[in-house]
């Protein structure tokens, strides 16, 4: 057990995660990893004096959630640490797993500010790092995505266990004789992470090398170091060339190495949009190919190159209308995004629900050809989980925080009876959703084409 503690201590000191006098809030679900995190941080206080507290997020997603909260209250009392509990009230729609994650990190931020904490520690392990690396590799991420989970994020989210295998934490708790909670959803192979964990990694270990996890963790570390260097170079180049109105002076841009030029584009788009959601490699490549007089439509944004500068314009609704007679095929939008409509094969695993990326529908209930088009004034949708009522699409998009400039760029999938089957970010049509009797499943999915 001392060897485990020593490695955690060395990692914390090497990466500068905790300093004497810090106030650290440990996010704890009650599972093995986060329980071990709290105990190891308590022991670390004998070497580095700092204040420690526990934060629990009750997502209220399962009947057991309130019982898990009670377990955390007893645990906090047992170890004599202050506990803060935050509750989530999930609503229908969207990718539930992704929305829960977004709520969790927003809760981290708010609790840190409310309580004056210096950092929030999460219990990500080497296993999480390996799984994330493989998931992003399969998705087609570039080097920045493959850098996977950083040891420190935004200067205040820290991961002290990122070098530690989960098996060592389980053994640590076993030797201490301490109970922990187990999340049954970790065995649900509808989720990609669980398929990677339970199928792909054991296959790689059996047929290639037992060392797959440390090897991929080292690869992620190397890529992260290189990514941070390129990011710093890109920011330095960008800083000296930004002009009034967020335009970018391009003198010398074409002389940059391709890898650095791509990072400059990503840094510029991040500055303009505030995030890189829905930005893929194809979009960066389109910007790199621009010449004077060109315009490129990106998600939520149009860039124009003129007089040696790149300048932003809000995305306008570039009209498009694509008809698929059989409701199947691939479509490419003016933004460069691609969507594939196909039937799931017999016995093919059903992908997990993710309203931002894909829709699963009862193919036999879809009427006539499928049309892919822009939103129009007056469009109404019948989202699953909203009582089957037709609602104005404009209102639903507004509720989900989609600004009016972005609404016209979203694809809308409509069948021959005028039922809107799906709009990315909104649950599928109530009348066309899957049921227990569905025999043929239509999958509509955004095609990833590089870094996101």
Token code pair at residue 263? 């990072």
Do the Cβ atoms of 412 and 390 come closer than 8 Å?
A: no
CA pseudo-torsion sign 268, 272, 274, 279: negative
Do the Cβ atoms of 269 and 247 come closer than 8 Å?
A: no
Confidence of residue 368 (pLDDT cuts 50, 70, 90): confident
The model's pTM? 0.65
Q: How far apart are CA 268 and CA 237, in angstroms?
A: 10
Domain boundaries, the chain: 2-188, 241-314, 321-446
Confidence of residue 415 (pLDDT cuts 50, 70, 90): very high
How would DSSP label each residue in 367-424?
Answer: -S-EEEE---TT-EE-BTTTTT--EEHHHHHHHTT--HHHHTTS-EEE-TTS-EEE-T
pLDDT of residue 204: 95
* pLDDT at position 272 over 90: no
Q: Taking the CB of residue 342, how many other CB atoms lie within 10 A of it?
A: 15
The 3-state DSSP class for residue 319 equals coil
Q: Which residues of 83-95 are buried (b: 16+ CB within 10 A; e: fewer)?
A: bbebebeeeebbb
What phi and psi values does residue 74 have, to the nearest 5 degrees? -65, -40
Q: What strands, in cross-sheet order, belong to the sheet with 329-332?
A: 329-332, 338-343, 441-446, 358-362
pLDDT of residue 315: 52
Token code pair at residue 126? 């080497």
pLDDT of residue 19: 94
Mean pLDDT, residues 115-139: 93
pLDDT of residue 452: 41
pLDDT tens, 242-258?
887 788 999 999 899 99
Confidence of residue 325 (pLDDT cuts 50, 70, 90): confident
Token code pair at residue 383? 């989202």
Tell me how many helices (H) and strands (E) the chain has.
14, 20
pLDDT of residue 178: 87
pLDDT tens, 184-228?
777 888 788 899 999 999 999 999 999 999 999 999 989 988 988
pLDDT of residue 215: 95
Q: Strand 119-121 relative to strand 157-158: parallel, antiparallel, unpaired?
A: parallel
Q: How far apart are CA 412 and CA 410, in angstroms?
A: 6
Q: How far apart are CA 319 and CA 147, in angstroms?
A: 37
More confident residue, 141 or 449: 141
pLDDT of residue 41: 96
Q: Within its chain, how far is the Cα of 241 from the centroid? A: 31
- Domain 321-446, CATH: 3.50.40.10
Which of 48-52, 228-232, 387-391 is predicted most confidently?
48-52
Fold observed for domain 241-314: 3.30.465
Q: How far apart are CA 364 and CA 32, in angstroms?
A: 45
pLDDT of residue 260: 94
Do the Cβ atoms of 220 and 149 come closer than 8 Å?
A: yes
How would DSSP label each residue in 206-256?
Answer: HHT-TTHHHHHHHHHHHHHHHHHHHHHHHHHHHHTTB-GGG-EE-TTGGGS
pLDDT of residue 192: 84
pLDDT of residue 30: 92
Q: Quick one: what percent of the chain has pLDDT higher than 70? A: 92
* pLDDT at position 334 over 90: no
Mean pLDDT, residues 158-172: 95
pLDDT tens, 74-124?
999 999 999 999 888 665 555 666 677 778 888 898 888 888 999 999 999
- Domain 2-188, CATH: 3.40.50.620
The 3-state DSSP class for residue 323 equals strand
pLDDT tens, 374-409?
888 889 999 887 777 889 898 888 777 675 656 767
pLDDT of residue 106: 84
Do the Cβ atoms of 269 and 303 come closer than 8 Å?
A: no
Mean pLDDT of the chain, nearest integer: 86
Lowest-confidence pick of 352-356, 420-424, 425-429: 352-356
Q: Quick one: what percent of the chain has pLDDT higher than 90? A: 45
């Amino acid at each position: 057990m001392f060897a485990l503690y020593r490695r955690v201590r060395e990692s914390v000191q090497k990466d500068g995660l905790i300093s004497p006098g810090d106030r650290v809030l440990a996010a704890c679900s009650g599972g093995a990893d986060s329980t071990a995190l709290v105990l190891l941080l308590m022991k670390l206080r004998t070497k580095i004096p700092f204040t420690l507290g526990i934060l629990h997020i009750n997502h209220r997603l399962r009947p057991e959630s309130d019982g898990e909260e009670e377990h955390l209250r007893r645990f906090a009392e047992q170890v004599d640490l202050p506990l803060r509990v935050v509750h989530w009230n999930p609503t229908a729609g969207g990718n539930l797993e992704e929305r829960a994650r977004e709520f969790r990190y927003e809760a981290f931020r708010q609790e840190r500010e409310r309580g004056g904490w210096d950092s929030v520690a999460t219990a990500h392990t080497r296993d999480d790092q390996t799984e994330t690396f493989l998931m992003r590799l399969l998705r087609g991420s570039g080097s920045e995505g493959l850098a996977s989970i950083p040891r420190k994020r935004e200067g205040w989210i820290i991961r002290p266990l990122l070098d530690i295998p989960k098996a060592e934490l389980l053994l640590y708790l076993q030797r201490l004789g301490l109970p922990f909670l187990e999340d049954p959803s970790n065995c649900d192979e509808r989720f990609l992470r669980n398929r990677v964990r339970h199928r792909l990694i054991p296959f790689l270990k059996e047929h290639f090398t037992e060392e797959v996890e440390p090897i991929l963790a080292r690869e992620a570390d190397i890529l992260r170091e290189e990514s941070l260097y390129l990011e710093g170079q890109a920011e330095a180049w960008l800083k000296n060339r930004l002009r009034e109105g967020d335009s970018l002076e391009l003198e010398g841009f074409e002389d940059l190495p391709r890898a650095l030029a791509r990072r400059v584009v990503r840094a510029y788009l991040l500055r303009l949009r505030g995030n890189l959601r829905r930005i893929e490699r194809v979009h960066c490549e389109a910007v790199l190919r621009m010449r004077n007089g060109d315009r490129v439509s990106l998600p939520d944004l149009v860039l124009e190159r003129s007089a040696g500068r790149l300048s932003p314009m809000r995305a306008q609704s570039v009209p498009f209308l694509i008809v698929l007679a059989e409701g199947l095929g691939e479509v490419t939008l003016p933004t460069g995004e691609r969507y594939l409509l196909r039937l799931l094969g017999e016995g093919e695993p059903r992908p997990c629900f993710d309203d931002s990326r894909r829709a699963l529908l009862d193919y036999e209930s879809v009427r006539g050809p499928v049309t892919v088009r822009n939103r129009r004034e007056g469009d109404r949708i019948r989202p699953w989980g909203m009582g089957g009522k037709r609602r104005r699409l404009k209102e639903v998009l507004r509720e989900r925080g989609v600004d009016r400039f972005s609404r016209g760029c979203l694809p809308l999938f409509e069948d021959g009876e005028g039922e809107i089957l799906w709009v990315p970010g909104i649950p599928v049509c109530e009348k066309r959703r899957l049921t227990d009797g569905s025999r043929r499943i239509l999958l509509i999915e955004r095609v990833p084409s590089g870094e996101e």
